[in-house]
Chain A
C-alpha cells in the first residue's frame, strides 16, 4: 500500500515521465492520472460551475482534451497546473456558449480577443443559487456566493495549496490581479461565514 502510494506520488511529481507518456498517448498512464487527480479536478470543476452534473461532463471532457493535447504538455511545468488550466478553458468555453456577448460590451470595446480568457458570466447566477442548496453545508454555499473569479483563486490557493505564480498561470492573470482577487474573496467570505455561524 505504502509502495503504491509512493509510486503514485512519484508519478504526480515527475513531469518528464508524464510528458513522455502523453506524447505516446499511453492510456495506462492516463488511467492512473485520472485516479490520482480525480477528486481535485472534480472539486475544482464543481465549484467553478456550481453544478455536479456539469462538473461530471467537464471532468470527462478535460481528460479527453488531455489525451488530444498531450504533446503540448511542458514537463517543466507542474502537471496539475496544466490540467487545471485545460479544465478552466473548458468551463469558459461552456459559459461562452451559454452567454451571448452583450451589445454594450461590443459597442464600448470591452470585448477583446487578446484579453486573458475569463468567464463569460462571472458572479452568482440563479442557477448557482439553486445549486447552493444541493451543495450541502454552509461553507460550500458560502463559497458559491463569491464572484466566480474570486472563488476560483480562493479554492486554488487554500484548497489546492497552489502558489500565487501557479494560480496566475492557470488563470492567465497577472500576479497582482490574483492577489487582489484573493483579498477580495477572503474579505467577502468572512462575514458570510460569521453570519451563518460556521466555526470549522
Chain B
C-alpha cells in the first residue's frame, strides 16, 4: 500500500488526538490500518505512548514529606481555632445588630409621637422635631454599623 504525505500527517494528527480525546471507530480503524503498515507512524505512536508513560511514571518522584503533612495539619487546626474564636467574638455583635433592628422597627410610632409631643410643648418647628425623630430612630442602627465596621477592621488588622 502506498502512503502519501497527507496520509502520514493525518495519521499523526489522529494519534495525537487519540491520546487526548476519543476518536471515532471509523478513524480508529483507519489509523490502526495505516500505522500497522507504516514504520515512521508506528515509531511516532511508540514515542507518543512512551512520553505519556514517562509523564505518568514521574508520580513516584514527588511525595510530600511526613513533616510537611504534620505541619500543615497543625496549621489548619490552629487556623480553625482562630476562626472559631473570631466567630464567637462576633456573636454578641450580631445579637446587638438584631436587637437594634428590632428596636428600630418597633419604635417608629413611639419615637414619632414622642418627639411630636415634645415639640408641642417646646414650640419648635416641624422640621426640627421631624429631623430629631429620624436621628433618634437611626441612632441604634448607626451605632451597630459603626461597631461592625470597627470589629471588621480589628479582625483585618489581627488577621
- Give chain A nearest CB distance to B97 CB in angstroms: 21
Q: Mark B50-61, 1 if CB is under 8 A from A, else 0.
A: 111111111101
Give every chain A residue within 8 A of B47 (Cβ-Cβ).
190, 193-194
Task: State the A residues within 8 Å of B (CB).
Answer: 25, 27, 30-31, 34-35, 38-39, 41-43, 46-47, 56, 59-60, 63-64, 67-68, 135-137, 139-140, 142-143, 154-155, 157-159, 164, 179, 182-183, 186-187, 189-190, 193-194, 198-200
| B68 and A42 contact, CB distance less than 8 A | yes
Q: Is the CB of B76 within 8 A of A56?
A: no
- B62: contacting residue among A46, A190, A194, CB under 8 A: A46
**How distant is the Cα of A182 from the Cα of B18 in the complex, in angstroms?**
12
Is B19 engaged at the interface, CB distance under 8 Å to the other chain? yes
B152 CB–A CB distance under 8 Å: no
Q: Is the CB of B55 within 8 A of A67?
A: no
Kindly identify which residue among B20, B53, B73, B83 contacts A31, using a CB–CB cutoff of 8 Å: B73
- Given the contacts A27-B76, A68-B83, A139-B57, A183 and B71 also touching, CB distance less than 8 Å: no
* Interface residues of B, Cβ cutoff 8 Å to A: 16-17, 19-21, 47-48, 50-59, 61-64, 68-69, 71-73, 75-77, 79-80, 83-84
**A-B contacts besides A25-B84, A39-B63, A189-B51, 5 pairs, CB < 8 Å:** A38-B64, A38-B69, A60-B72, A186-B20, A186-B51
- Beta-carbon contact of A158 and B55 below 8 Å: yes
How near does chain B come to A28, taking the closest CB pair, in angstroms? 10
Q: Which of A46, A143, A179 contacts B21 (CB 8 A)?
A: A179
B54, A193: Cβ atoms under 8 Å? yes
Knowing A38-B69, A155-B55, the reply to whether A182 touches B76 (Cβ < 8 A) is no
B20, B62, B72, B83: the one within 8 Å of A43 (CB): B62
Contact A42 B55, CB 8 Å, known A34-B73, A63-B75: no
For A41, list chain B residues within 8 Å (CB). Answer: 64
Whole-angstrom distance between the Cβ of B85 and the nearest chain A Cβ: 12
Q: Return chain B residues, CB-CB under 8 Å to A39.
A: 59, 62-64
Instruction: Tell me which residues across on chain B come within 8 A of A164, comparing CB atoms.
Output: 20-21
- Residues of the A chain whose Cβ atoms lie less than 8 Å from the Cβ of B59: 39, 43, 159
Interface contact B61-A42, CB-CB below 8 Å: no
B68–A59 CB distance below 8 A: yes
* CB of A168 to closest CB in B, whole Å: 12
Chosen A-B contacts, 28 in total, with CB atoms closer than 8 Å, are: A25-B80, A25-B84, A34-B69, A34-B72, A38-B63, A38-B68, A38-B69, A39-B62, A42-B62, A42-B63, A42-B64, A43-B58, A56-B64, A64-B75, A64-B76, A67-B83, A140-B58, A154-B55, A158-B52, A159-B59, A179-B21, A183-B16, A183-B20, A186-B52, A190-B48, A193-B50, A193-B54, A200-B57
